Structure 1
Amino acid sequence: MAKQIEGVSERILDCAKIEFLDKGYQDASLRAIAAAAKTSTNSIYVRFGDKEGLFSAIVEPVLNRMTEMFIKIQEEFHQMDSSAQAEKMTDYSDGGTSVLVDYMYKHLDEFRLLLDSSYGTRFHNFIDELVRIEVEYTYKYMEAVGYPERMGDAMTEKLLHIVTTSRFESIFEVIRHGMSREEAAEYIDLLCRYHRKGFFEVFGFGKEK
């Protein structure tokens, strides 16, 4: 097997990021990426398999790390006893959201790709997995602190999924709107307060700090 030339993979990834950001996944050209990286399309196929493999090499490590961080935050909260969960839910939720937003801004190009350039790839609906995790742990929280039996009915299930999806879509809007990290912090604070008010209003349990 021929030895791969050092630095070519990095050049391909850098040029691919620019091409995908500019044209989106579907209209991006492997020929253009290869030319910009001063290599051949064959070298892209050898290293990354195909166009989606190349896109995946850029965004998947970042997305996987975010998902791991999100699950860790949820698990740490879930391991608290019920009284601590009830007392610290607001602070823990807001703090966890801030951690994720910080991570997004450290990997801004990758999240721009996921949000606006991933149509046609398996990453197009990446928010769905974050929503699934959030809904799962919201139910765990509600059970731990003693929410009413209504939490198990079909309407509640649909409502939680819809509002959680809305919340995550709204969080990622900070990137779509080109906000600075400082602007995003103010926006996220207002967004968290807005959704928390709705949560307590609908389920009628507990008080917002």
Structure 2
Amino acid sequence: MPRDKTEAHEKIIAAAVSEFTEHGFENASMRRIASEVGLTVGALYRHFPNKEEMFAALVEPTISKLMAKYQEFCEHGYEVMKCGDVQQLWNESESETKWLMSFIYDHFDIFRLLVCRSQGTRFESFVHDMALLEERSTLDYFERMKQYDMTVNELSKQEFHMLVTANVSALFEAVIHGFSREEAMHYAETLDAFFSAGWKKILGI
């Protein structure tokens, strides 16, 4: 992890984002980053012990913010669930897509690293990991709903996994294809319309 917050450190962060964005993690060069900010390679390693820790320092703060907000959404959903209205619960969940797309574009450079430039790091399965998180959270929702006499149609585990993965992966396609923020927010509305209708039909909501 970085050892200081000096002006030099901030320059390193900016140079690292640029280097990883242009070359990807595997082809990024600590030597080029050092040269960009006017440091020796040895001096650069006093800020970060290795290339992967540098990459982690760039992306982990944003991931932590995302996970905290995701947990807030889950907790809010549990409260709404107590009303016993499946439709209201569904309407609440639909707002998440637009919020998430907006969050992605508030931190676009970081999500581009995570989605497009993380091969070779422990973050290379980020999108898949997000899909698994959404899958687990949704299944937990379904179980909790039974406590309030709310039920949905059941799917096979394989079908449910593939549909959730498709839903989550589709969101990050905006990053892969370099959509503008305006294009991405319109796309988020399209995703909501497309997947919402499908999920409602399949789940019997």
Give the TM-score normalised by the residue count of structure 2.
0.88
Q: Is the 8 A contact 1:20 1:28 kept in 2?
A: yes
Shift of 1:79: 2.5
Is residue 88 of structure 1 aligned with residue 88 of structure 2? yes
1:21 paired residue number: 21
The percentage of aligned residue pairs carrying the same residue is 28
1:11: how far off? 1.0
Equivalent residue number for residue 12 of structure 1: 12
- Do structure 1's residue 119 and structure 2's residue 119 form an aligned pair? yes
Which residue of structure 1 lines up, in the alignment, with residue 193 of structure 2? 193
**Where does residue 41 of structure 1 map in the other structure?**
41
Matches within 5 A, 1:168-207: 168-203=168-203, 205-206=204-205
For 2:151, which of 143, 146, 152 is the aligned residue? 146
SS in 2 for 1:58: helix
In the TM superposition, residue 101 of structure 1 has moved relative to its aligned partner by 1.1
Distance in structure 2 (CA, Å) of the matches to 1:94 and 1:187: 14
| Whole-Å separation in 2 of the counterparts to 1:54 and 1:44 | 10
The Cα offsets for residues 158-195 of structure 1, whole Å up to 9 and x where unpaired, read as 22211111111110111222222222122111112211
The change in CA–CA distance for 1:172 and 1:39 in structure 2 (over 3 A counts) is same
Measured after TM superposition, the shift of residue 5 of structure 1 is 8.8
| Contact 1:77–1:85 (Cα < 8 Å) also in 2 | no
- How many residue pairs match? The answer is 198
Q: Give the aligned residue type for 2:46.
A: V
Tell me the amino acid that sits aligned with residue 147 of structure 1: V
Measure the CA separation in 2 of the matches of 1:89 and 1:28. 45
* Distance of 2:188 and 2:128 partners within structure 1: 20
TM-score by length of 1: 0.86
Structure-1 separation of matches of 2:41 and 2:5: 15
CA contact (8 A) 1:128 1:165 kept: yes
Measure, in 1, the Cα distance between the counterparts of 2:83 and 2:102: 29
